[in-house]
Structure 1
Amino acid sequence: MFPFFYDPTMIIIIPFILFSVYAQYKVKSTFNKYLSVTARTNKSGADIARELLRKEGVSDVTVEQTQGRLSDHYDPRSKTLRLSSDVYRGSSLAAIGVAAHETGHAIQDATEYSPLKVRHSLFPVANFGSQLGPILAVVGFLFFKSQFLVGLGILFFLGAVLFQIITLPVEFNASNRALKLLQQYNFLNRDEAKGTKKVLNAAALTYVASTLVAIGHLLRLVMMFGMMDED
């Protein structure tokens, strides 16, 4: 029906990929803009993270520097908050915002925030499904003309989509916690909080984009299934 190796369903995900590219551009440009704006506290991102953890009663989390740019993350397995050098050492609005956001994840973990627990439990399934699901579906569609394989691929990939969807409230909550705590403990004034909020909103856009890309891939697999004739 189609030329060898040609997959007509690829067109579905192009708009989602373009939006993802825009989101990546937005977060980098916004981060760079506010990386040059020093907060009045003149505290580093590492200092802010440690003080927020202490004030919130979280004593078992280590804050350390990691390699890479915008590679900041919280590792719940080792209870480690890893900050890139720009964030760890920097005292800009961008550095403080990112450090506080990742600290928000550590606080979520300490308070057993339900969506975070669900996301952690879904990770193995999502990781497996995101790799195997599309392969099964595409191979079943292009080579074996098998609805069963395509359907199995869809089933596996659903775990990855659910993981992306549950990630959204986790990330939004971490950002909301960050902004609230930064103002509550007087690390940022109202005007500074506006700049930090723009950084966190831009970062949130990348998670929205990732979710839309995952949904786009799922629609693509469903389209494959629908294009095949029932045996």
Structure 2
Amino acid sequence: MPFLFFDPTMILLIPAIILAGYAQMKVKSTFNKYLEVRAKIGKSGAQVARELLDQNGLSHINVTRADGKLSDHYDPKNEVLKLSPEVYGGSSLASLGVAAHETGHAIQDKVGYAPLRFRHSLFPVASFGSQAGPILAVLGFLFHAGFLINVGIIVFTAAVLFQIVTLPVEFNASSRALKLLRQNNYLNSQETKGAKKVLNAAALTYVASAVVAIGHLIRLLVLSRMMDD
């Protein structure tokens, strides 16, 4: 099994790794750029999120400060919207855009947005598959155990599907965010363009994650075929 010592399939991951690196640099640079551009309305991300939640019948959801940069997320289990310090207290285009995006996730949860529900149902097996799948596949390659390889590929496929389903969830949340910001006059048309650039850059990181996951799955399938041959 020479591919265990020299794995030519690693080349399949190079484009995905390059895209992932670019996406990370893009989101950081874009976020930092528009973090310096203050929205004319002068409200903080926490204030905007609170008002948007209340307007959409989600007054029971708390808005709290999270630790770390770009750590913003909506926690449906505990019904809390957590914003990073820059977003929570900031009044920049980046702050308002990200706060509205996370609010968009809360609204998705309320209306039963199908892709979000599907992603939630996938999470347990996807979490297991992302960790255990490659390990099981490698053990199968080492011990020439086809059953382990197949199980590893199957459970890892759930992790890949989770990454793919994440895309419409994130795109939809961003679309909702921009619409909410514009319709409620938090941002004017020019400011909305800046917020959109921030959210588009963030979306690219999810695209990159999906491409990396797909690349790993293809690599496992190719390795499995190589061993059979």
Q: TM-score range by the shorter chain?
A: over 0.9
C-alpha distance 182-49 of structure 1, shift in aligned 2 (>3 A): same
CA deviations on 1:151-187 (whole Å, 9 max, x unpaired) are 1111010110110111000000000000000001000
Q: Does 1:159 align with 2:192?
A: no
How far has the Cα of 1:57 moved from its partner?
1.6
CA deviations on 1:178-228 (whole Å, 9 max, x unpaired) are 000000100000000000000000000000000000000000110111101
Residue type of the alignment partner of 1:181: L
In the alignment, the residues of structure 2 paired with residue 92 and residue 183 of structure 1 have an alpha-carbon distance, to the nearest angstrom, of 15
Q: SS of 2:74's equivalent?
A: strand
CA deviations on 1:52-72 (whole Å, 9 max, x unpaired) are 111112122100001000000
Gaps of 5+ in 1: none
In the alignment, the residues of structure 2 paired with residue 6 and residue 133 of structure 1 have an alpha-carbon distance, to the nearest angstrom, of 21
Provide the residue aligned with 1:29 in structure 2. Answer: 29
Provide the residue aligned with 1:191 in structure 2. Answer: 190
Check whether the contact 1:93–1:195 (CA below 8 A) recurs between aligned residues. Answer: yes
How far has the Cα of 1:138 moved from its partner?
1.5
In the alignment, the residues of structure 2 paired with residue 65 and residue 198 of structure 1 have an alpha-carbon distance, to the nearest angstrom, of 24
In the alignment, the residues of structure 1 paired with residue 124 and residue 98 of structure 2 have an alpha-carbon distance, to the nearest angstrom, of 26
Check whether the contact 1:122–1:159 (CA below 8 A) recurs between aligned residues. Answer: yes
Check whether the contact 1:150–1:224 (CA below 8 A) recurs between aligned residues. Answer: no
Residue type of the alignment partner of 2:23: A
CA deviations on 1:102-149 (whole Å, 9 max, x unpaired) are 0100111111111111100100010001111011112211x1122222
Q: Does 1:222 align with 2:221?
A: yes
Q: SS of 1:64's equivalent?
A: strand
Deviates more, 1:107-116 or 1:84-93: 107-116
Q: Does 1:136 align with 2:141?
A: no
Provide the residue aligned with 1:105 in structure 2. Answer: 105
In the alignment, the residues of structure 2 paired with residue 229 and residue 183 of structure 1 have an alpha-carbon distance, to the nearest angstrom, of 57
Residue type of the alignment partner of 2:109: D
Provide the residue aligned with 1:58 in structure 2. Answer: 58
Residue type of the alignment partner of 1:195: G
Residue type of the alignment partner of 2:212: V
In the alignment, the residues of structure 2 paired with residue 62 and residue 102 of structure 1 have an alpha-carbon distance, to the nearest angstrom, of 12
Deviates more, 1:192-201 or 1:10-19: 10-19
How far has the Cα of 1:4 moved from its partner?
5.6
In the alignment, the residues of structure 2 paired with residue 167 and residue 3 of structure 1 have an alpha-carbon distance, to the nearest angstrom, of 33
Provide the residue aligned with 1:47 in structure 2. Answer: 47
Q: Does 1:81 align with 2:81?
A: yes
In the alignment, the residues of structure 2 paired with residue 7 and residue 146 of structure 1 have an alpha-carbon distance, to the nearest angstrom, of 18
In the alignment, the residues of structure 2 paired with residue 173 and residue 31 of structure 1 have an alpha-carbon distance, to the nearest angstrom, of 19
Q: SS of 1:82's equivalent?
A: strand
Check whether the contact 1:147–1:228 (CA below 8 A) recurs between aligned residues. Answer: no
C-alpha distance 4-229 of structure 1, shift in aligned 2 (>3 A): closer
